[in-house]
Amino acid sequence: MLIINEISKTFHKGTQNERNAISSLSLKASDGEFITIIGGNGAGKSTLLNLIAGTHFPDSGQILLADEDITYLPEHQRAKNIGHLFQDPLMGTAPNMTLEENLSLAFLRGGHRGLRPGLSKKNISIFEEHLKSLDLGLESRLKTKVGLLSGGQRQAVTLLMATIATPHLLLLDEHTAALDPTTADKVLNLTQKISKEHGITTLMITHNIEHALAYGDRTLMMQHGEIVMDIAGEERANMTVESLLQNFKAQSGQNLTNDRMLLS
Ligand SMILES: Nc1ncnc2c1ncn2[C@@H]1O[C@H](COP(=O)(O)OP(=O)(O)OP(=O)(O)O)[C@@H](O)[C@H]1O
Ligand SMILES: [Mg+2]
């Protein structure tokens, strides 16, 4: 379980550039829960994931993952348990290494050891099986350099690398925003499948409200570093893009705006 207790984060405190990014935010996510997060530009969505990943530390508050206090644990020490994906499909993989080499690195990070680490016959057949499940024909391209794959293929491989060692937590920061709509749908379905099959708690930021309501189990809306809406179950199932936007306006007196937002 992920437990966040009243975390706050202000960047450049006491200077002209002071930015209050997260304000006394609390959140509990149960094991295997898939939460989608929406909100306008600068609402604090990426900062929230960065605090959980350890890219930044909060000024106050506490973050617990599987009963361990990870609030100030260095980023590399939590990387084994936390997968973090970003918008740029080029970020998560090494372009000059082959598909099997990339997957081996991810496999090793999960603590798997061997004489020739990661590249045994057994491991390769595990990789082939995982790649088959992506349904992108990549299982026959293990010796291909990853730099030769398309953006969607690379993001699917990044997702696989982030989850091959079955982390506790998957943090997705608009990971399909740079993909064309068909590929984005494929990667989103894959995300949902991997999250459910392995029971990985997932936090997914998206600027697409329709996706936020369609994927996962629960949706949060953020504004000014706080969670201003938290819906699940029937309330969420009955929520439309239209009513969500109306709710936001009624609550905040503003229109929800995000330069990357798709309102259809
Ligand atoms: N590394 C940083 N240094 C300084 N200020 C930052 C940093 N990261 C975020 N901020 C500031 O914190 C606030 C929240 O930013 P954040 O990136 O978390 O928003 P967001 O909800 O992800 O927005 P977007 O939808 O545009 O991605 C903003 O005011 C931003 O300028
Ligand atoms: Mg962001």
Per-residue pLDDT reduced to its tens digit, 76-109: 999 889 999 999 988 989 999 999 999 998 888 7
Q: Considering every ligand atom shown, identify the ligand nearest to the alpha carbon of residue 18 and give its number.
A: 1
Please state the pTM of the whole predicted model: 0.93
Mean pLDDT of 205-215: 95
| Ligand 1 geometric centre to CA of 94 (Å) | 27
Tell me what pLDDT residue 263 has: 52
Tell me what pLDDT residue 97 has: 95
Amino acid at 168: H
Q: Which residues, including other chains, have CB under 8 Å from residue 6's CB and lie 6 or more apart?
A: 24, 25, 26, 60, 61, 62
Atom of ligand 1 nearest to the CA of 174: 27
Ligand 1 first shell, C-beta below 6 A: 11-12, 19, 21, 39, 41-47, 258
Tell me what pLDDT residue 154 has: 94
Contact 82, 168 (CB under 8 A): yes
Instruction: Provide the token pair at 39.
Output: 């909100």
CB-proximal residues (5 Å) to ion ligand 2: 46
Tell me which fold the domain 2-94+167-263 belongs to.
Rossmann fold (3.40.50)
Q: Is 80 exceeded by the pLDDT of residue 115?
A: no
CA torsion through residues 22, 238, 169, 29, sign: positive
Tell me what pLDDT residue 264 has: 44
| Ligand 2 geometric centre to CA of 45 (Å) | 6
Mapped onto helix, strand or coil, the DSSP state of residue 207 is coil
Instruction: Give per-residue pLDDT as tens, 131-184.
Output: 998 888 899 999 999 999 999 999 999 999 988 887 899 999 999 999 999 889
Tell me what pLDDT residue 235 has: 97
Confidence label for 122 from pLDDT (cuts 50, 70 and 90):
confident
Q: Which residues, including other chains, have CB under 8 Å from residue 34's CB and lie 6 or more apart?
A: 192, 195, 196, 201, 202, 204, 215, 216, 217, 218
- What secondary structure letter does DSSP report for 139? G
Mean pLDDT, rounded, of the chain: 91
